[in-house]
Amino acid sequence: MAREDGAAVNARDRLVSPVDEPDEKQLESALRPANLDEFVGQKRVRQQLSLVLEASRLRGRSADHVLLSGPPGLGKTTLAMIIAEEMGAPLRISSGPAIQHAGDLAAILSSLTEGEVLFLDEIHRMSRPAEEMLYMAMEDFRVDIVVGKGAGATSIPLDLPPFTLVGATTRAGLLPGPLRDRFGFTGHLEFYSVEELELVLRRSAGLMDLAMTAEGFAEVASRSRGTPRIANRLLRRVRDWALVHGIDRIDARTSSAALDMYEVDARGLDRLDRSVLEALVTKFGGGPVGLSTLAIAVGEETETVETVAEPYLVREGLLGRTPRGRIAMAAAWDHLGLAVPEHAAFQDPGLRAAFGAAASPSAGEDAPPLFED
């Protein structure tokens, strides 16, 4: 738990972090779409969810419980709000980390009204006793409240009004099977394409009364890591830069200059990402190198490099995880403007064959790397 919280804190310090920041929640709320028609991207999930909601309206009943999974910043919270709006129901918001005792969950459930939508963010971090209580609440709309302790304890059944639970998780694999099975609809959100992010930015720019060219939108979208939250954050920084420099209409040159100043390069990498790649390439010849050695080289904590920087670098094909350690891929050398050496680690057939077995977060620590930790 502490490890995940620490990684989230480190991620919030970055402009390209998909983690939401407390001081931008109000700004995000102003840009959120109010219904499924306004929601951009995730076409298949939108179609399926629209069918689920329409069917529940025709039946005159609460919608099935909904589980939304996927990386942060893609719209899980927004979709939960849209579900409540589409159903004309009130929305109650809580989170897994806030529910550490069964009594915490019982207090929330007992105060729900009929048809209300309960949104639990990061549901995989809820305590096990609360999870077990949630099973019965989701399936039978009933919970058992235990009064007293020991031999004198008494279980009092409490009926609940029909409600819809919307769970959101960034790590669906951590959810126990019995909990996953009780959701009537499961939607997985994918990263956005550049074209979809341009549509997100156009809508946001309209709400912000911001004049911007098509090339300006494309420039910001290409640096947004496939994530709407990052795209909107970068758009606000570009807006601020243009305002300070007296620019009325933002084009590609303005967007590029603004984001270059914030150290977000053309591929969406920031200072930490480039530091990891540069250390891997220039100090360790492209690897393999152990995770802790790499973290020391860039002056960061091991978990910061592993959970904050590496996921995007791996997804972009810039860094590889192998049983012997982290290695730089061909794209990393190209991105840094360096020639790929003839005997680069990624060209080793043995390491290439091990890529599939090295996808776990602990990969790179099982076998001795070329540069010992």
Return binding residues: 31-32, 73, 76-78, 139-141, 182, 192, 229, 321, 326
DSSP string, 190-210: PPPPHHHHHHHHHHHHHHTT-
- List the one residue out of 311, 320, 315 whose CA is nearest residue 345: 320
Residue 364 Ramachandran class (φ > 0 left, ψ -120 to 50 alpha, else beta): left
125, 223, 229, 274: the catalytic one is 229
Q: Decide if 163 contacts 89 (C-beta within 8 A).
A: no
Query: Could you give the CA distance from residue 322 to residue 290 in angstroms, rounded to a whole number?
Result: 10
DSSP state of 325: E
Extract the annotated binding site for DNA. 321, 326
Q: For this structure, is 121 an active site residue?
A: yes
77, 169, 227, 254: the catalytic one is 77
Query: Could you give the CA distance from residue 147 to residue 138 in angstroms, rounded to a whole number?
Result: 22
Q: Decide if 169 contacts 69 (C-beta within 8 A).
A: yes
Extract the annotated binding site for ATP. 31-32, 73, 76-78, 139-141, 182, 192, 229
Q: For this structure, is 25 an active site residue?
A: no
Give Cα separations from 315 to 191, 331, 353 (angstroms).
Answer: 11, 12, 18
46, 92, 121, 125: the catalytic one is 121
Q: For this structure, is 76 an active site residue?
A: yes
Q: Which residues have CB under 8 Å from 158's CB, separation 6+? A: 106, 110, 142, 143, 144, 145
Q: For this structure, is 229 an active site residue?
A: yes
Q: Decide if 221 contacts 197 (C-beta within 8 A).
A: yes
170, 293, 304, 322: the catalytic one is 170
Extract the annotated binding site for Mg(2+). 77
Neighbouring-strand partners of residue 146: 155
User: What's the number of CA atoms in the CB half-sphere (13 Å) around residue 154?
Assistant: 3
Q: For this structure, is 293 an active site residue?
A: no
Neighbouring-strand partners of residue 147: 154
14, 76, 225, 239: the catalytic one is 76
Residues marked as catalytic: 76-77, 121, 170, 229
